[in-house]
Each structure stands twice: as structure tokens, then as C-alpha cells.
Amino acid sequence: MGEKTIVENIQSFGLKKVLNYLDSDPDANIPKILDWVEKFDREGTVKGQLKTFRDVVEDKGGNWYKLIKSLWTDVDDGVRKTLFENFIINATIVGGQRQEKTRKENNCNVPWAILMDPTSACNLHCTGCWAAEYGNRLNMDIDTLDNIIKQGKEMGIYMYIYSGGEPLVRKKDIISLCEKHKDCAFLAFTNGTLIDEDFANEMLRVKNFVPAISVEGFEEETDFRRGEGTYKAVIKAMEILKSKKLPFGISCCYTSKNTETIGSEEYFDDMIEKGAKFAWLFTYMPVGKDAVPELLATPEQREYMYHQVRKFRSTKPLFTMDFWNDGEYVNGCIAGGRNYLHINANGDIEPCAFIHYSDSNIRDKSLLEAFKSPLFMQYRENQPFNNNHLRPCPLLDNPGRLTAMVERSRAKSTDMENPEDVRELSSKCEDAAKNWAPVANKLWNR
């Protein structure tokens, strides 16, 4: 079933023909495209997204429409077409229907995207990064990575995201997988320092790979956590990508040290000017023995980000997601295979990049078996973890919820160097959860 069925191929062919109309006159044809997508979306898989998108395209002077139009002026034609086909048709429409069928048949979560680590190796040593503990000893070989993608496509998963370590340590293998799976969209969380002219040319050739570059603010904030000279290297990478009309975004972790910078209008404007098309925002999580709980954002800082991101969404041409503060838009936690999961460089299948516990390994179980495992079923049975979706996380926002799921499923810590007891991990977040709760409740009730 990894190959598309006859019906899916007909559906894809029709949608691809429709997408081709966009290049002749995007202004006139975007509404027509939405009509066609709605026609093919018989199960209502993207009904909510379509309504939002219609509202956007009707406001021709709005920032969102400006962002959409920039995909024609700022992005290579071939790259744009490939990503549209892989993201909109394969990952969202055709894939979404197949995912839903698999969910119903197996009574388990099936994710929209799989996050996986090709390696634990990294050329930086960032403060508070759990990956640094593993050094360069953990790697998934290319056959294992390839097999994960093949299994995923069987269930309709066409979106794959690399993390690490630094995934671009494995540049050659990443490009090979892009070539082999031309129907998939690939993204990588990368520190950006290994992006050079040669790799950018390879990206331009395969057309289905997009980097999300980690940056902690301006030079002072970025180099504080990532090391001297990192910011300059990141900006150089952005310049290369922009000059070749390659799309990229940024990944920002806001902490007690940099929240006011990350959330500032000056910073957003600067990243847009440098060419970023999207921004993934995360709050710091105190995971691993080298965790620095002092970096946890305060309730005031988290509320600041809540307001800033919502304000900028109506004024800045940048697609932005805050994976904690945007829980209200996705009904809480998206981990545990509900929308995504994480496979580390040792092959352990984890519910989340920040939750290092597992009862399954890709070398011993299929993806579907892992989705049905006790730990993932615990997630399915317990989500959402709070009726207030501004408190979505079972670790950071809801003390005891992660502990109960890990203990009931008998999942084990995947930290090979320093296994972390789930109760000790949870204790590091108790004060943060307690202090955030009244603020989140005020925002939610408002």
C-alpha cells in the first residue's frame, strides 16, 4: 500500500493539474484551487484548514496573503511546485485520508509527521542540550531510515523531519533519501552552520528538503547558548539559501534569558528580512543531566510570547507556531503519535522529542506495532491532558500525568548515559506548572 492506489493516483493527478494553474495567475486561481481541494476532500480531512485559508486569500492586502504571494517571488519555481505537491497533496490530502483509515482499522494514533534523528553527533555543544550527552556514538543507518519512511508511507505519512544531534552531519544520506522518496516532504531542525554552497545546490536539485535553522535571538543570545561565532555562521547560511531562492524557516527556543528578544518586533522583522518563511517556537524543557532549570521561561515570559505571537500573526508575513501556547488550535498535546512522534538515533520510538521514554525500538517493532504499544496507547487514552489547551504538556504543564503513563506502560528511559527517573524529571517542572496554571487559566477563560 506504500504505492498510491489507482483512486489515489487519479486524485493526485487531478490536484497536480489544478496546482499548475497557479503559476499562470496566482491571484485569480488560488480561490479556484481551494474549490478543487474541497471537492477532493470527501472525508473532511482539511475542512477546518480550508476555511481558514479562504479567509486569508480573501484579504488581498493582509500579511498572510503577502506571505503566500512571496512563495512565487522568493522561491524557485521547481522547489515550490515539488513542495506544494508533496505537502498539500501527498502529506495532507491523500496521506490524511490514508492515515484516518489506518486509525480506524487499528484503533490507535497515526501521526501526520515523523521526527527522527539520523545521528546524535553534533558540531556544537549548546547549553542545556540533552543530545550533547550522547556524543557521536549513536547513528541510524540509511537502510533503517529508509525503512521508516517506507513503513510510514504505507500508512499515509509523507512528512519527515530530521533532528539530532545535528542532522546535517549526515548530508549525503539525507540527500539520498530525498532522491529516493521524491513524493515526501523533508524538513530538518539544524543549527545551520553546515549549510554551504554545495549543500544548497543539492537542495535545489532534489527540491523536497527545507531547513528550520535554530537561532536563539541576535548574536549575543545565540552565541550565549550555542557558542561564539555561531550567529555569524547562521546568517551566512541564510544568505546562501535566500540567494538561491530556497525556502527556509527558523526554530527558536525561548528561555528565561532570551524571551524578550525572541518575542520582539525587531527580531521578527529581522528574520523576515533575512528570508525566513516560518518560525517554530519552543519553550525550554529541562531534560537530561545537563539540564539547566534556571532557563525555564517564567509565567510572565510565556504569557508575553502568547500575546506577541498572536499580535504578529495579524501583522507579519511569517507563518508562526508556538508548540506550547498554540495548544488551543490543535486540542492540546500533539505527541504520542496523535500528530507526530520521535525516533532517536538509537532507534527508540518516543512519544515526543522532549519525552525520553520508550517501550519500542524500530529494530524490534514495526511502526504500527509501536503505535499500539502500551506507552502510545496511554497517550491516546489520556489526551488531552487538560481541558485548558494552554496547559497541553503532560510534563511541563500537568504534574503527574507523564509519570502515570510511563509507570503504567513500564516504559524505560532512553537516556543511555544517565537514565532519568520519570519522577525526578517531573519534579523539575512542578514549580513551573504550578506558577503557569493561574496565568493559563486567566488567558483561557478570557
Cα 32 from Cα 38, distance rounded (Å): 10
User: Environment class of residue 86 by beta-carbon count within 10 Å: exposed (0-12), middle (13-18) or buried (19+)?
Assistant: buried
Least confident among 98-102, 287-291, 348-352, 434-438: 287-291
Which homologous superfamily is 108-445 in? Aldolase class I (3.20.20.70)
pLDDT for res 132: 45
% of the chain with per-residue pLDDT over 70:
86
pLDDT tens digits, one per residue of 37-87? 677 666 666 666 667 667 666 677 788 888 988 988 999 999 999 998 999
- The H helix count followed by the E strand count for the chain is 19, 11
pLDDT average, residue stretch 325-336: 95
Q: How confident is residue 290, by pLDDT bands cut at 50, 70 and 90?
A: confident
Judged against a pLDDT cut of 70, whether residue 371 lies above it is answered with yes
Judged against a pLDDT cut of 90, whether residue 211 lies above it is answered with yes
User: Environment class of residue 180 by beta-carbon count within 10 Å: exposed (0-12), middle (13-18) or buried (19+)?
Assistant: middle
Q: How confident is residue 8, by pLDDT bands cut at 50, 70 and 90?
A: low
pLDDT for res 94: 87
The contacts of residue 350 (CB under 8 Å, 6+ apart) are: 341, 342, 343, 344, 356, 357, 358, 414
Cα 296 from Cα 291, distance rounded (Å): 10
Q: How confident is residue 356, by pLDDT bands cut at 50, 70 and 90?
A: very high
Domain boundaries, the chain: 6-92, 108-445
The mean pLDDT value of the chain amounts to: 89
pLDDT average, residue stretch 262-281: 97
Judged against a pLDDT cut of 80, whether residue 393 lies above it is answered with yes
Judged against a pLDDT cut of 60, whether residue 162 lies above it is answered with yes
pLDDT tens digits, one per residue of 292-307? 899 999 999 999 999 9
**Joined grid coordinates for residue 414:** 532512553
pLDDT tens digits, one per residue of 21-49? 666 677 777 776 677 667 766 666 666 66
